């Protein structure tokens, strides 16, 4: 059996340190916004190279709070990609703004910067690129557009912890970086968790207030905020994993490199690195015309696979009627042919070879 991600094995390799840290946190009984949360924020900001990191309850909340802090609201438009997890667009709707979906680049599957420029209207206030599957979006181009037009740049880094673009790691370039620590993410905790990064002192202070009921001083509430705090136990786990994130990401790149060389000339399209940043392969996603047959074959021999994402957001039931006249052919085509193979830092060469053999059986 080869899973999409082997969290058990990874936990066992760090068990002593994680268990000890959790027990210490239990003894201290400071469960919310305790010392491990502050230490994690400092360590994560240091690792990424950004001034502030504010831990929150999930990646979805990170996006939501970042948009609130950016002052986005009803009547505003936010340009984003249709080829992402729903949370990217949900956050836009939470603040009452309208997501404007533009097409993706056929090679990287990330938002196409040229399409961003074409979609800007007087109502546009922000752009949310997603560093999909661990590959940084074209930040140099996106940053230029945002600067010229005075738009907030909110990076969705849910899948890209530690991936670097030309000018620094993802999450350090835009107005905000929004991270998810969902367990299966390349940096994941053992529950829900998230984080917003920013270089803005005032923006960081606003986020600290927003995540804690609009309060800077206990029982004094300057604004309506939210309950969105990372808990101490998750922070313990994240601190242990953060120390290993470079090795984890290198492990993912090793596995991806092996897949790509073994899948050469088989008829599937392997991931394209655009050379503008470092891909951390949160997912290894191929394009295959016979996707369903390949997935069936893999399932028969005990190998997991998944489709991220089968339906672009403008075609999701919740959005379909609002976007009926929107056609985004690249996203639609990619969604109909993409599939992701198992990838995790601990994956062995033998496991990669087993996956590739099963894929090849269908393509032969």
Ligand X SMILES: Cc1ncc(COP(=O)(O)O)c(C=O)c1O
Note whether 138 and 110 are within 8 A (CB): yes
Nearest to 334 by CA among 292, 287, 290: 287
| 85 lies in the site for ligand X, by CB under 6 A | yes
| Rounded (10°) angle between helices 232-242 and 35-48 | 30
Binding to ligand X by CB under 6 A, coded x per residue (else -) over 102-141, reads: ----------------------------x-----------
Q: Is the link from the previous residue into 309 a cis peptide, with omega within 30 of 0?
A: yes
| 80 lies in the site for ligand X, by CB under 6 A | no
| 351 lies in the site for ligand X, by CB under 6 A | no
Q: Tell me how far apart the alpha carbons of residues 126 and 97 are, in angstroms, rounded to a whole number.
A: 10
How far, rounded to the nearest angstrom, does the alpha carbon of residue 323 sit from its chain's CA centroid?
24
**Residue partners of 214: CB distance under 8 A and separation at least 6:** 221, 222, 223, 224, 225
Which listed residue (59, 174, 225, 271) binds ligand X by CB under 6 A?
A: 59
Shortest Å, Cβ 300 to ligand X: 28
Which listed residue (36, 60, 186, 351) binds ligand X by CB under 6 A?
A: 60
- In the region spanning residues 179 to 208, those forming contacts with ligand X, defined by CB under 6 A, are 180, 182, 192, 194
Where do the DSSP E strands lie in 171-301?
176-180, 194-198, 215-217, 220-221, 284-287
Tokens of residue 93, six digits: 């709707």
Decide whether 10 or 184 has the Cβ nearer to ligand X.
184
Which listed residue (5, 67, 146, 158) binds ligand X by CB under 6 A?
A: 158
CB atoms within 10 A of CB 347: 25
Binding to ligand X by CB under 6 A, coded x per residue (else -) over 219-258, reads: ----------------------------------------
Bridge partner residues of 100 (DSSP): 79
Note whether 161 and 185 are within 8 A (CB): yes
Decide whether 95 or 359 has the Cβ nearer to ligand X.
95
Q: Which stretch binds ligand X (CB under 6 A): 4-12, 64-72, 109-117, 151-159?
A: 151-159
Shortest Å, Cβ 185 to ligand X: 7
Which listed residue (4, 54, 87, 196) binds ligand X by CB under 6 A?
A: 87
Q: Where on the chain is the footprint of ligand X (CB under 6 A)?
A: 58-60, 84-85, 87-88, 130, 156, 158-159, 180, 182, 192, 194
């Amino acid at each position: 059996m080869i899973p999409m991600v082997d969290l058990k094995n990874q936990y066992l390799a760090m068990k002593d340190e994680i268990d000890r840290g959790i027990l210490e946190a239990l003894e201290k009984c400071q469960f919310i916004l305790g010392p491990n949360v502050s230490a994690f924020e400092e360590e994560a900001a240091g690792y990424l190279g950004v001034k502030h990191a504010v831990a929150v309850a999930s990646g979805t909340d990170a996006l939501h709070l970042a948009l609130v802090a950016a002052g986005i609201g009803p009547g505003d438009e936010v340009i984003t990609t249709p080829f992402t997890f729903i949370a990217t667009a949900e956050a836009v709707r939470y603040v009452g703004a309208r997501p404007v979906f533009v097409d993706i680049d056929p090679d990287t599957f990330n938002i196409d910067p040229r399409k961003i420029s074409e979609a800007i209207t007087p109502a546009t206030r922000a752009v949310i690129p997603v560093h999909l599957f661990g590959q940084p979006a074209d930040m140099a181009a996106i940053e230029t557009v945002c600067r010229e037009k005075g738009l907030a740049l909110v990076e969705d880094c849910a899948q890209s912890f530690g991936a670097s673009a030309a000018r620094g790691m993802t999450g350090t370039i835009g107005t905000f970086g929004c991270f998810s620590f969902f367990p299966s993410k390349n940096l994941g905790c053992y529950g829900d968790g998230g984080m917003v990064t920013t270089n803005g002192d005032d923006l960081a202070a606003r986020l600290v207030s927003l995540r804690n009921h609009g309060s800077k001083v206990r029982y004094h509430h300057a604004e309506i905020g939210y309950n969105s705090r990372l808990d101490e136990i998750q922070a313990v786990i994240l601190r242990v994993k953060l120390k290993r994130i470079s090795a984890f990401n290198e492990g993912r790149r090793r596995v991806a490199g092996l897949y790509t060389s073994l899948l050469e000339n088989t008829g599937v399209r392997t991931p394209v690195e655009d050379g503008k940043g470092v891909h951390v392969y949160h997912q290894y996603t191929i394009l295959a015309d016979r996707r369903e047959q390949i997935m069936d074959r893999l399932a028969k021999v005990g190998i997991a696979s998944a489709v991220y994402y089968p339906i672009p957001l403008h075609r999701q039931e919740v959005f379909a009627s609002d976007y009926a006249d929107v056609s985004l052919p690249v996203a639609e085509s990619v969604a109909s042919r993409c599939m992701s193979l198992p990838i995790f830092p601990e994956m062995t060469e033998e496991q990669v070879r087993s996956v590739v053999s099963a894929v090849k059986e269908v393509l032969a």
